[in-house]
Chains A and B, each alone.
Chain A
Amino acid sequence: MGLGVDFRNTIARRAAEEITNGMVVNLGIGIPSLVPNHLPKDMMVMFHAENGITGMGPSPEKGMEDENLCNAGGFPVTLNQGGSYCDSAISFGMIRRGRVDITILGSLQVSQQGDLANWIVPGKKVPGMGGAMELAQKARKVIVLMNHCDKAGKPKILTSCTLPLTSTACVDMIITELAVFKVTPEGLILTELFPPYDLQEVINKTECAFTTCDVVRKISY
């Protein structure tokens, strides 16, 4: 896919590679919501929503919406075979007990230690944490999908976050339109690049230092 054409779907497609059959996956709003479109049709994945849905399916066709069947963002969804409903306490019990394999979410900033800042812009936006803290702290794997830089062109991957943290040292993987990073206790490792972007461009647009793995995969879908 070419530069800027549909990078949101490119990011979502790469994230979909992390999902395997039988997993329980919680998706945030924005780019993460595009991930299911990139999974093999025969793959059985249980999508989890904080408001008490396990086995969430795609949006219904227009006119088929059910006001009592919505995702955590309040938009109508469907239920796949094998799906179920539960109350909020049980829904978060699944998260805290480690039964949610992956959470895929957006973020404002991520640090080289995997600190996540995605809930407050002081003086501007104080919406509350919702379920983000539990998901960040307790999902088995936390994947952040985001633009590499903010709207002002400033890096969002930093030595340390400047915005208030949602949770510390919780992110396992970062996927941007430029590259894929693994977060390790020793810092970030660049594992993949999305051509036409090259390593130098990623270095220029990333505030913190990072290492690269031995063989960097170049992804072109």
Chain B
Amino acid sequence: MENPFGKITALEDVLKLFFNGMTLMFGGFGGVGTPPTLIDAILEKGVEKLTLIGNDTGFPHIGIGKLVSQERAIKVIASHIGSNPIAGKLMHEGKLEVEFSPQGILAERIRAGGVGLPAILSDIGMDNELVSKNKPHFFLNGKDYLIETALTAEVSIVYAKKADPYGNLIYDKSARNTNPLVAMAGDITIAEVEEIVPLGSLNPDEIITPGVFVDHIIPSKGVNWKWAWE
């Protein structure tokens, strides 16, 4: 494959971008749409003290759950950890800080970060202490809102079905989920893809993430975990 933008990158080269104590944002929902090859590579490199930002903590052996289960994270910002009991256990033991954000507001905070906005106004969970605690309020047109801060990360990792050499991405069905938002919110964004296709072969009208947001493309080795339903 021609590589005129230099974005198609060897796995060992993107691995240089991961370091201890970094903030890492990941696409996926219950492991669906989380990049398996990158997760395994991060595990093997031994990166730790991560702050992870994403929809949920996967399952113990699925998706981002692998990093959480092996205690590589010190903090998680997510909407849900229920499908990964190890995350709950680590939280109760004080080994993992968890910031819960309502799912759609989390998505919108990531989107805001990805489109260069500092925060959003939200009326979700205002009556809930866990959500509203320590957040500034803003009155607009006589209504009270919470200021929800935008989220960005030093590196974002996403999973897509196809990329061209510029990093234009299309996703596969419900594996899209948070990926297009996460792709925009990384200082550096790495897309792991099932297939790299020649420039010009994706229908421009059907591209979901413009390649302008993608810095590196790596080919996926495919999902290597067993799904809960299998």
Contacts and interface: CB of A to CB of B under 8 A. Distances in A.
B119 to A, nearest CB: 15
Interface residues on A, range: 35 or more
Contact of B103 (A53, A127, A130): A130
Contacts of A127: 80-82, 88
Nearest to A83: B173
Contact of A68 (B33, B55, B108, B125): B33
A74 B229 contact: yes
B176 A87 contact: yes
Interface string B63-83: 000000000000000111111
Interface string A150-187: 00000000000000111110000000000000000000
B174 A85 contact: yes
Interface string B183-222: 0000000000000000000000000100000000000000
A125 to B, nearest CB: 8
B163 interface: no
A86 interface: yes
Given A51-B174, A52-B176, A75 B131 contact: no
Contacts, number: 144
A88 B229 contact: no
Given A52-B177, A68-B33, A134 B104 contact: yes
A51 B131 CA distance: 21
Grouping DSSP codes into helix (H, G, I), strand (E, B) and loop, the A interface class, with mixed when no group exceeds half, is loop
A215 interface: no
Interface stretch (B24-32, B39-47, B137-145): B24-32
B193 to A, nearest CB: 13
Interface of A: 49-53, 65-76, 79, 85-89, 91-93, 95-96, 125-131, 133-134, 137-138, 164-168
User: A-B pairs with the 6 shortest C-beta distances?
Assistant: A92-B104, A127-B82, A74-B30, A68-B175, A131-B103, A88-B107
26 contacts: A49-B174, A53-B174, A67-B227, A68-B33, A68-B173, A70-B32, A74-B229, A86-B176, A87-B180, A88-B29, A88-B55, A88-B177, A89-B104, A92-B104, A93-B104, A95-B104, A125-B82, A126-B81, A129-B102, A130-B82, A133-B128, A133-B131, A134-B105, A137-B124, A165-B128, A167-B125
